[in-house]
Structure 1
Amino acid sequence: MNLFAVIAVDLVAIVVLAFGVYYPRHRRRDLAVAFVGVNVGVLAVSMVLADTTVGAGLGLGLFGVLSIIRLRSREIEQSEMAYYLAALALGLVAGLSTTITWTTAGIMLLVVGVLAVVDSPALLRRSREQTLVLDRAYPDEADARIAVEALLHAPVHRLTIRNLDFVSDTTTVDIRYSARPDSASRRGAATASPAHESIAQVTR
């Protein structure tokens, strides 16, 4: 009965994390399914290791090995890596527990709860990170910053030039900025300078 209780609690935790917290916000079904699969796999392996005399050490080693694996089939953001590591942690905590205690349940609740809070759309909702291609070559970061701020009508907190192409007369930059409210953005877009209208967003 203790075994079934551990499995049930872990499944509830990972389903809430993957389909109650992650999927409604990021809408990637493939990663939501991957999180559940990784969690169940770690749970099964760690349960087997828990029956050995070196179960805890091997369990931590398993966590360390799996935590450095990158999912390379498609691009994965750093925030999604946090969910991946959380799925690993839930499976490991549950698998190495012989029974569900208040400590075990509290740790699992903490993992799910912290991610639900820090990844909330209400937290830092105007913070943005984007990669842009500018339609001019800007050797000076200050000039590139002025061009980007003129287009976005928003303060740029950090700008890094990633590629400077004098042949095609383009500059690729990574920027971090605070988005304006929708109304301000629409007013700014209406008065944007034509010299900057051909700046194209490449990726978020």
Structure 2
Amino acid sequence: MIPQLVLFAIDICAVTFLVFGLYFPRHRRRDLVVAYLGVNVGVLAVASALSASNVGAGLGLGLALFGVLSIIRLRSTELDQHEVAYYFSALALGILGALSTTSVWLSGGLMMLILLVMSLGDHRRLFRNYRHQILVLDSAIINHVVLVAHLEQLLDARVHSVTVQRLDLVNETTVVDVRYAETGRALIAEPGAPAHSGAHR
């Protein structure tokens, strides 16, 4: 019983650090704070109850995964991929905290591994020059080479990927999904100069 309580305490500390030490300071979405905490504690409670009963642990974990996947699929607001990763991290921490069949050291070490991976993988300095934008250009550009050159001049960046989402030849607009890396050269506008109207971000 004592190792189980220790795992519960480690899980609570781990999810607290995940949410309040990593996610919220970096992304500032208050609505997902309660979601991550609720998923973690809910999975921890359900998996612990199932592991103490005659129901197989595999069934319990399957139900927990199905529940989280349903939440993500039926969400009413858009989630980015890093937010989905935090969902699964909170889920994994809860499952590890409920596995009384493993040692405290093993489960605790795996929890620390999850936190380390999320801390490094979601760090601001990792690929900090890379950006993703959906732009509406005020011209219809059919040629891909010309489009890439126009975007690189407009963004002052190295374009890595461009996907044309809509090309309107009547209204002379092009909607593109572009992934690029900033070159580091800052564009300094003259005082009183109008903003560039070639694209809307």
TM-score, scaled relative to structure 2: 0.88
2:187 paired residue number: 186
State the Cα distance separating 1:167 from its structure 2 match. 2.4
Give the letter aligned to residue 19 of structure 2: A
Identical aligned pairs, as a percentage?
Answer: 45
Aligned equivalent of 2:137: 134
Q: Secondary structure at the match of 1:125?
A: coil
| Whole-angstrom CA distance in 1 between matches of 2:122 and 2:144 | 31
User: 2: distance between equivalents of 1:17 and 1:61?
Assistant: 23
Q: Which runs of 5+ in 1 are unaligned?
A: none
Do the aligned residues in 1 keep the contact of 2:47 with 2:61 (CA within 8 Å)?
Answer: no
Distance of 1:59 and 1:139 partners within structure 2:
53
Cα deviation, 1:4-60, whole Å, max 9, x if unaligned, reads 322211110001001100111101111122101110000000001111344321133
Counterpart CA distance in 1 for 2:45 and 2:103 is 16
Return the alpha-carbon distance in structure 1 between the equivalents of residues 3 and 116 of structure 2: 24
Contact 1:5/1:99, CA 8 A, preserved across alignment: no
Distance 1:79 1:199 in 2: 27
SS in 2 for 1:9: helix
Question: Are 1:2 and 1:99, in contact at CA under 8 Å, matched by a contact in 2?
Answer: no
Which residue in the other structure is 1:36 paired with?
37
Task: Render the CA deviation track for 1:118-160: whole Å, top value 9, x for unaligned.
Answer: 1000111111111111111122222221211111111100101
In the other structure, the counterpart of 1:110 is 113
Which residue pairs with 1:92 in the alignment?
Answer: 95
Structure 2 counterpart of 1:119, from 103, 118, 122: 122
CA contact (8 A) 2:130 2:179 kept: yes
Deviation larger for 31-40 or 134-143:
134-143
Distance 1:63 1:180, change over 3 A: farther
| C-alpha separation in 2, matches of 1:152 and 1:162 | 18
- 1:46-85 aligned at under 5 Å gives the runs 46-69=47-70, 70=72, 72-85=75-88
Indicate conservation of the 8 Å contact 1:97/1:104, yes or no. Answer: no
- For structure 1, which segment, 77-86 or 49-58, has the greater mean C-alpha deviation from structure 2 after superposition? 49-58
Aligned AA (1:199): A
**TM-score (norm: length of structure 1):** 0.87
Q: 1:63 to 1:179 in 2, by over 3 A?
A: farther
State the distance in 1 between where 2:15 and 2:181 align.
Answer: 32
Correspondence for 2:163 among 134, 155, 160: 160
Stretch moving more, 50-59 or 25-34? 50-59
Distance 1:66 1:140 in 2: 46
Post-superposition shift, 1:77?
0.2
- Give the match's secondary structure for 1:104: helix
Number of residue pairs aligned between Structure 1 and Structure 2: 194
Query: Where does the alignment leave 5 or more consecutive residues of structure 2 unmatched?
Result: none
1:49–1:55 contact (8 Å) kept in structure 2:
yes
User: What is the CA–CA distance in structure 2 between the aligned matches of 1:175 and 1:144, rounded to whole Å?
Assistant: 11
